[in-house]
Amino acid sequence: MEPTRRFWTAVALAVAGAALAPLLSNPLLLGIPIGVGTWILAHELQFMRSIRRIQSADPAVVTQSVMNTGVHDGTNPSLRVQFSDTVNETAKLDASIDVTVPSTLLTDTVTPRHVPDNGTVNFDVSLQLPVAGSFEIPTPELHITSAHGLFDETIQAGNACSFIVDPASLRGGTRRQDDALDSMSSFAPGNVREYAPGDPMNRIDWKATARLGELHVREPDPESIRETHLFVDQREPMREGPPGRTKLDYAREIGLAITGQAANNEDPLQVSFVDHGQVFDSQSVTAGEAAYEHVRRRLYDLASDSYDQSSTTDFRTGKPLRFGRNAAHKAGTLADDDDVYSRTLAPYFETMTAYSAELTSEELLKSVRASLHARDGDPWFVIVTDDSNRQEVRVTTELVADYGIELTVFVLPTIRFVDGNAPKPIDEDTTSREFQAFLDTLNAIPGITAFEAGPGKPLPDNPSQPRRSVAQ
Amino acid sequence: MKRTLQPRDALGGVSLVALTVLLYTAGGSVSLLFGLTAALAWLFGPPLFAFVLGQAGVAAFAPSMSLPTFILVELAVVLLLFGDVAIDSPIHNWSRAVLLGGIVAITTAVVLTVQSSLLAAGAVCLGAFGVLIYAVDRYEQSNRLNSELNTHG
């Protein structure tokens, strides 16, 4: 309960009355502080009772629910807020209701809605969901001012809302993501036949080609069952981007779409979450609705805002991994000393630091390599990562190609996720061209299909030239 | 908050008329100014300002009032301040006990100290109300905290 300016005005009048009484030798002026004090106290007690009644009202005076959710198909959902003063308290108060929707989900600024004297107000707030995922809208807030404006109070009233939005498909992202969807059917394995002019390059079965000595393509066969190995990069660079629209948020959407496709085809699915300090964190290759649901929940939990940059944790143990930093710290400390002990141990710790740096930049490669060794049959590999470590991505794709396994790579361009406060790239055109050149490099590797993923239109290959689709 | 005239304001209107007439009978045209300014304050602001002006008028012209007139004019001033509290926001249960007990205790303390020093009586009055209002605020906060803990716990 916060006192307002009106409250302090009343207090000032009471003090004035108490001060004038001895000055004018008039005891009746003490009636002013007594009256004002009683008046404030009466309203305070009354306000307290009103707050209690509003908070304990059954049914609750405020309810909120999210409409039109379920599938992320471009339709904006809305939050419906309904206020009904069932305890008849707001008529003597000044009340307004304010939704507490995270700003990233709002299309417009939402101002508090005043509750009219009849105590009923309903309104809708338009929401935008840039990506599929799990969302929570906290309990609305009710701002109340007591009668005659003596006190203010903000209370939580009503219910919180949580809802899940599944990706309808990869549509709604960039054109290259759409291309990915269109060519999804071609990923399904099937019969192998000789290559004919006009066949898409990504249907070439390189293993069969190598075995038979001539180009062969694979005909899609929806009845076949094929393992899907999904690798979702969740290392620190994937946290870049505005809240709610980080690379990780888009990676989650792609991961959910891939999971949905695997579930539709009843394909066994393995998901590896690639993180700092952990080389391999994976679900086993499983099929069945429970397994798909488990993967979906894990993908929904890819929360970028809970990431603590001060410590990296091992997903399996939950314990922080400080090896690299400790080694670096000790190496630095020993470098400052000049005794025999330091000279002997310093090279050891410097080696450990280098090893640590190498480890933290190769988790994706190590994770993919482990899956390659554990694969069964002719799986489909999908990697969702960004371009912050292009060398690692390129080496990883080459490794998969060496095994003759079909691989789809979704690359989130860092230039798309530059923070508004961060310095912009000096030459965005050059950066875009470099990214396209990187994608082209990946697509040139046999069996590899690379897509640009993320928000907005695809980055232009060359701003002065028409765009070219990567997926052929 | 926009002030609109309601049927409950009849009590305030009657109080204002009584206050103005009684002050006029006691102090003449000068005291009429207190009544009229109190009426303006009551029309366009919270009853607090009308009460302060009315009580100041009573304090100024009480020596020329008879005891029945004084009692009536004090009653009018009190009704002016607490009319809407009594009608719109009646105090319930233990809150009423806190309010009445507090007023009686503070008024008694003021009456006892006013004989020796008006300054001390004013200080006692302000201090006692300050403590009481703060105590109620703290009680409400702890109560709400417990309620929220129970809800989310």
Both structure tokens of B59: 């304090």
- A171: pLDDT confidence band, cut at 50, 70 and 90? very low
pLDDT above 80 (res A436) = yes
Q: A41 vs B91: CB contact, 8 Å cut-off?
A: no
Q: Are residues B97 and B144 in the same domain?
A: yes
Q: B121 vs A21: CB contact, 8 Å cut-off?
A: yes
- Which residue, B90, B106, B140, sits at the end of a domain? B90
Structural domain boundaries enclosing B56: 1-90
Starting at the edge strand found earlier in the chain, the sheet holding A133-137 runs A71-72, A161-167, A133-137
Q: Are residues B75 and B9 in the same domain?
A: yes
DSSP string covering A231-266 = EEE-SGGGG-SSTT-SHHHHHHHHHHHHHHHHHHHT
Model pTM score: 0.61
pLDDT above 80 (res B108) = yes
* Residue A340 vs residues A330, A343, A347, B95: alpha-carbon distances, Å: 15, 5, 12, 79
Tens of pLDDT, residues A47-93:
888 888 888 888 888 888 887 666 656 667 788 888 888 777 877 78
Q: Are residues B102 and B80 in the same domain?
A: no
Q: What is the pLDDT of residue A403?
A: 87
Q: Are residues B65 and B102 in the same domain?
A: no
- Which residue, B60, B90, B120, sits at the end of a domain? B90
Q: Give the chain B residue nearest A14 (alpha carbons).
A: B126
pLDDT above 80 (res A245) = no
Q: Are residues B62 and B40 in the same domain?
A: yes
Strand positions, DSSP E, A127-233:
133-137, 141-145, 151-156, 161-167, 192-194, 216-218, 228-233
pLDDT above 70 (res B70) = yes
- Which residue, B75, B90, B105, sits at the end of a domain? B90
Please tell me the distance from the alpha carbon of residue A49 to that of residue B96, in angstroms, as a whole number: 11
Tens of pLDDT, residues B112-144:
887 888 899 999 999 999 999 999 999 888 887
CA atoms within 13 A on the CB side of A317: 8
Q: What is the pLDDT of residue A175?
A: 41
* Interface confidence (ipTM) of the complex: 0.90
Among the four given CATH numbers 2.20.28, 1.10.1660, 2.60.40, 2.30.30, the one describing domain A62-166: 2.60.40
Topology of the domain covering A175-189+224-319+361-452: Rossmann fold (3.40.50)
The least confident of A138-147, A242-251, B4-13 is: B4-13
Q: Are residues B62 and B103 in the same domain?
A: no
> Quick one: how far is CA A398 from the chain centroid?
29
Paired strand residues for A72: A167
Residue with tokens 């029309």: B43
Mean pLDDT, chain A, integer: 74
Q: Are residues B17 and B86 in the same domain?
A: yes
Q: Are residues B74 and B95 in the same domain?
A: no
Tens of pLDDT, residues A146-165:
988 999 999 888 888 887 77
The least confident of A173-177, A373-377, B90-94, B142-146 is: A173-177
The least confident of A61-70, A181-190, A354-363 is: A181-190
- A423: pLDDT confidence band, cut at 50, 70 and 90? low
Tell me whether the CATH fold assigned to A62-166 matches the one assigned to A175-189+224-319+361-452: no
Q: If DSSP codes are grouped into helix, strand and coil, which group holds residue A30? A: helix
Q: What is the pLDDT of residue B54?
A: 92
pLDDT above 90 (res A309) = no
Percent of chain A with pLDDT over 90: 10
Name residues 37-76 of chain B within 8 A of A (Cβ): 46-49, 51-52, 55-56, 58-60, 62, 74
pLDDT above 60 (res B7) = no
Q: What is the pLDDT of residue B59?
A: 92
Domain ranges of chain A: 2-45, 62-166, 175-189+224-319+361-452
Q: Are residues B71 and B137 in the same domain?
A: no
Q: Which of B125, B137, B140 lies closest to A18 in CB terms? A: B125
Please tell me the distance from the alpha carbon of residue A9 to that of residue B48, in angstroms, as a whole number: 10
Q: Are residues B82 and B107 in the same domain?
A: no
Q: What is the pLDDT of residue A317?
A: 43
Tally of domains within chain B:
2
Q: Are residues B73 and B52 in the same domain?
A: yes
Q: Are residues B71 and B4 in the same domain?
A: yes
Residues A451, A403 contacting (CB under 8 angstroms): no
Name residues 94-123 of chain A within 8 A of B (Cβ): 94
